[in-house]
């Protein structure tokens, strides 16, 4: 707003409110003063001055309220037309405007979903503890009259009046959800119970962002929703896989017992803008390494397959599922299947990189194949991916180029080991990266010390309390087991090169 606009609003307020009130109140003040003067004494003049001061305060308060009201109306109008610095949003009639809660809304997928819901004209509340989410992902909506942001954790109950819940909250990349597996389980179980309780209380529809990880290392290819999965229930990925399976069970238990209106999306590998450069997923790692002409690292021999969808397609699927009439689980993914090695070559070509493609030891329990059967999505919600993988990669590469430019230095991707989410590192920062290809395996081993600096993952053995295992204790136990030649009983032995998996990401959730 210009200075002249502000002056105009203030003058208008004074003319409309101050003048009439002032005239009436002046008469009241004069009358009071004359009455008191009749009784004599200097006290009359003092009382008269006090009454005049009160009158001035009243007028100023009315004017101030009028100015604020006028400014708020102007700001709201500017916001609706997109001229206030916010992205433009639709104006919906009250009976179509929904109050929507997005848990995990500051994360990669969540923030893209928030953009969609806001531009459609709904009122959106984001709940995020910022463990993996970033405030910068939603900062362009802060202060908007339709937007609210709560820094909170879904494991604690929340009391809101809402119409829909998109429950996306949970770390999704393997290094992050393995960092504190007990908290990951709590997020999927206690967090989902809290959201279901909220949905029950306010009669809201709730959508769970589940994952293709519930299929484990599948024996059926591609994977339909009817497949029950092949999951290692005690492996390092089980905290996420089993947590999501239990969350699905809770959803349908609430539906059957108390009639909660539920939706379940089984999300396959997704990439796009606002991926964190250090989330350790295959797409972000490959692009960051390629843009810096560093070695592109595969975990395994690269023959494992993945299916990748662009984030805009996923958001479209989530919205269609939420607003459709189908309540059983739905796969959301792109059926185009790539070996991880061929995907690395594609990224190298698109970035015009001089990077080498090198192999590191495979990670535990990473699936050999992953491809969605999207027949149900096509038939029941009318959804199919619209973006080709190459189109999505070009958009994502442009995003990561901007991230690199903003950092002004080198970004070191996260390795496959359990790791706490951390700021993007530049030259001189810490971070367990790959300095030279001939030291790749050594660097990967050294990254364990880097993880210890961030608290380290709790060990799989039982401790009390489980969350308070120290990094030193964890490292000493691992070292002691190694010296004694004792295998970790929870770490399956690799059987062949074909059972090994790809890069650190087959995470399918947001």
Q: Which tokens in the block code for residue 329?
A: 């689980």
Q: Which tokens in the block code for residue 442?
A: 């050594």
CB atoms within 10 A of CB 217: 19
How distant, in Å, are the alpha carbons of 125, 280, 314, 413 from that of 289?
35, 12, 25, 8
CB atoms within 10 A of CB 80: 17
**Neighbour-count burial for 108-139, b at 16+ CB within 10 Å, e otherwise:** bbbbbbbbebbebbbbbbbbbbebbbbeebbe
3-state secondary structure of 434: coil
d(CA 474, CA 471) in angstroms, rounded, equals 5
How distant, in Å, are the alpha carbons of 295, 412, 442, 499 from that of 345?
12, 20, 24, 22
CB 374 within 8 A of CB 331: yes
CB 315 within 8 A of CB 382: no
CB 158 within 8 A of CB 198: yes
CB 505 within 8 A of CB 282: yes
3-state secondary structure of 44: helix
CB 503 within 8 A of CB 247: no
Active site residues: 240
3-state secondary structure of 479: helix
3-state secondary structure of 337: strand
d(CA 251, CA 260) in angstroms, rounded, equals 8
């Amino acid at each position: 707003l210009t200075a002249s606009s502000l002056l105009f609003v203030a003058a208008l307020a004074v003319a409309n409110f101050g003048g009439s009130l002032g005239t009436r109140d002046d008469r009241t003040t004069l009358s009071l003063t004359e009455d008191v003067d009749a009784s004599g004494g200097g006290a009359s003049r003092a009382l008269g001055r006090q009454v005049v001061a009160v009158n001035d305060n009243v007028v100023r308060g009315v004017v101030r309220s009028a100015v604020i009201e006028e400014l708020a109306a102007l700001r709201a109008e500017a916001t609706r037309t997109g001229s206030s610095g916010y992205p433009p949003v639709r104006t919906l009639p009250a009976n179509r405007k929904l109050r929507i809660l997005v848990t995990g809304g500051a994360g990669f997928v969540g923030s893209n979903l928030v953009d969609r819901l806001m531009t459609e004209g709904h009122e959106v509340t984001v709940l995020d503890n910022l463990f993996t989410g970033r405030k910068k992902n939603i900062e362009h909506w802060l202060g908007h009259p339709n937007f609210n942001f709560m820094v909170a954790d879904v494991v604690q109950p929340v009391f809101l009046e809402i119409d829909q819940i998109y429950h996306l909250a949970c770390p999704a990349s393997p290094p992050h959800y393995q960092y504190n597996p007990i908290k990951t389980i709590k997020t999927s179980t206690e967090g989902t119970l809290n959201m279901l309780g909220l949905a029950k209380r306010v009669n809201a529809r709730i959508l769970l962002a589940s994952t293709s990880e519930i299929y484990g290392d599948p024996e059926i290819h591609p994977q339909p929703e009817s497949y029950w999965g092949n999951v290692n229930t005690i492996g390092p990925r089980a905290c996420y896989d089993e947590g999501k399976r239990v969350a699905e069970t809770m959803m349908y238990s609430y539906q059957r017992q108390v009639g909660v209106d539920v939706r379940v999306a089984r999300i396959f590998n997704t990439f796009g803008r606002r991926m964190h450069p250090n989330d350790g997923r295959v797409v972000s790692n490959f692009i960051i390494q390629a843009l810096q002409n560093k070695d592109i690292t595969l975990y395994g021999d690269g023959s494992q397959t993945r299916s990748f969808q662009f984030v805009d397609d996923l958001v479209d699927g989530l919205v269609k599922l939420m607003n459709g009439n189908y309540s059983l689980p739905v796969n959301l993914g792109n059926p185009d299947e790539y070996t991880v090695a061929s995907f690395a070559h594609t990224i190298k070509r698109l970035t015009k990189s001089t990077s080498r493609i090198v192999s590191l030891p495979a990670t535990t329990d990473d699936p050999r194949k992953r491809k969605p059967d999207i027949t149900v999505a096509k038939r029941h919600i009318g959804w199919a991916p619209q973006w080709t993988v190459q189109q999505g990669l070009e958009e994502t590469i442009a995003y990561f180029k901007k991230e690199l430019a903003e950092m002004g230095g080198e970004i070191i991707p996260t390795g496959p080991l359990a790791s706490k989410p951390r700021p993007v590192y530049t030259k001189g920062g810490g971070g367990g990266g790959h300095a030279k290809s001939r030291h790749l395996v050594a660097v990967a081993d050294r990254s364990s010390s880097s993880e210890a600096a961030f608290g380290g993952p709790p060990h799989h053995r039982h401790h009390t309390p489980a969350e308070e295992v120290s990094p030193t204790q964890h490292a000493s136990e691992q070292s002691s087991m190694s010296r004694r030649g004792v295998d970790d009983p929870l770490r399956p032995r690799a059987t062949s090169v074909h059972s090994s998996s790809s890069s650190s990401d087959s995470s399918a959730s947001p």
